[in-house]
Amino acid sequence: MRALRSLLLAAADSPWLQRFVQKYGFRLGAARFVAGETLDDAVPVLRRLNESGLLTNTTLLGEGVRDEAETRAVVAAYREVLDRIHADGLRTNVALKLTHLGLTIDEELARRNVVELVEHAANRGNFVRIDMEESRHVDATLRIYRALREAGHENVGTVLQSYLFRSEDDLAGLLPLAPNLRIVKGAYLEPPEIAYPRKADVDAAYAGLMETSLAGEGFTAIATHDETLIEHTIAFAREHGISKERFQFQMLYGVRPRLQLDLVRRGFDVLVATPYGPEWYRYLMRRLAERPANLLFLLRNLVRG
Ligand SMILES: Cc1cc2nc3c(=O)[nH]c(=O)nc-3n(C[C@H](O)[C@H](O)[C@H](O)COP(=O)(O)OP(=O)(O)OC[C@H]3O[C@@H](n4cnc5c(N)ncnc54)[C@H](O)[C@@H]3O)c2cc1C
């Protein structure tokens, strides 16, 4: 399974496979995980999720942009997303990647771009989450997050990945800011020098981060489909008198939808991360790597046509 996971994550960077998969597009099953290729496709999906009691975020898919002008187009697209959310009264915020905003070109460019979007979101009473990408971007991402908070921006959060050894120290460093943190296991291929290779260790580290974050002053987004960790969170919050306003569960669009609604019925906030956009290939490959059984689902769709 680990070899297959590594293969799928390596395939995320294959231009040849990307061309092939994108050609067969949504028919192959990307539609299970992605709300469409345009904002107009995504809005009814977001609305339907909201109507069933779920909070949502949305992401214009894309990453690793290498051209400054392209980052400006991404900023313009996100401004439109925030305007549309506001106009349509959706219970949706935005999650974005700094490499989509130019982090691989210049950290200062990415910082300026994200500041603009965080300010635009604040003017519309909204919130921006900065996703966490490959380990080589963690320092810059946390620097930018910290700079935003120190400049007085409250409507911004980021992410820590439990597979990285460093995350425990990163969390300790962020806690004085009363941060809004999403905790995830981690979706990229990382070497064993810096990340736990064994799932049991990743899960144990997740529980540790979740408890420390909940015991702190900020807000914690428990982003996992792992029922053991979800029940662990609920039990920990109950035992320590942590109110439901201080945390929420987050899951991905298309993954464990019944569990999402069960948690809503139990009175918890659940946010469904619901991305859209034509650049869905890498996102899809990461979803396959998380659960290689998804490959069968995809291949069945291919055979059925
Ligand atoms: C809202 C959200 C935001 C995220 N943001 C980031 C981020 O910024 N950076 C980052 O590195 N990672 C991010 N991730 C991905 C995360 O790191 C994991 O790769 C992903 O959540 C799978 O791990 P898990 O916690 O669900 O646990 P796992 O132990 O992998 O899965 C638990 C169970 O959930 C189900 N499941 C999990 N994944 C899938 C899937 N793809 N398809 C079908 N079933 C599945 C299976 O039943 C599995 O047994 C995010 C995840 C979520 C939910």
- What are the pLDDT digits (tens) for 134-148? 999 999 999 999 999
Give the residue, out of 226, 227, 260, 286, with the most ligand 1 atoms within 8 A of its beta carbon, to mutate for a pocket test. Answer: 226
Strands of the chain (E only): list them.
Answer: 55-58, 92-96, 128-130, 156-161, 180-184, 219-223, 247-252, 270-273
Judge whether 16 lies within some domain. no
Q: From the alpha carbon of 131, which atom of ligand 1 is closest?
A: 8
Q: Is position 66 annotated as part of the catalytic site?
A: no
Domain membership of residue 17 (yes or no) is no
Residue 294 is assigned to a structural domain of this protein: no
Q: Is residue 105 in a domain?
A: yes
Domain assignment present for 132: yes
Q: Which of 111, 129, 149, 182 is catalytic?
A: 182
CA–CA separation, 132 vs 129, rounded Å?
Answer: 9
Q: Which one of 111, 131, 149, 286 is the catalytic residue? A: 131
The CATH number that applies at residue 118 is 3.20.20.220
The dihedrals phi and psi of 271, each to the nearest 5 degrees, come to -110, 130
Mean pLDDT for the stretch of residues 276-284: 93
Residue 304 domain flag: no
Give the domain extent around 273.
34-279
Q: What is the pLDDT of residue 296?
A: 79
Confidence of residue 111 (pLDDT cuts 50, 70, 90): very high
243 found inside a domain: yes
Q: Burial level of 205, CB count in 10 A (0-12/13-18/19+)?
A: buried
Indicate the range of 20-34, 111-125, 266-280 predicted with least confidence: 20-34
Mean pLDDT of the chain, nearest integer: 95
User: Mean pLDDT, to the nearest integer, of 15-29?
Assistant: 76
- What is the number of structural domains in the chain? 1
Helix (H) or strand (E) holding 69: helix 68-88
pTM: 0.95
- 131 flagged as catalytic: yes
254 lines ligand 1 (CB under 6 A): no
> Which of the four pLDDT bands, split at 50, 70 and 90, describes residue 304?
low
Does residue 291 form part of some domain? no
Quick check: 64 pLDDT over 70? yes
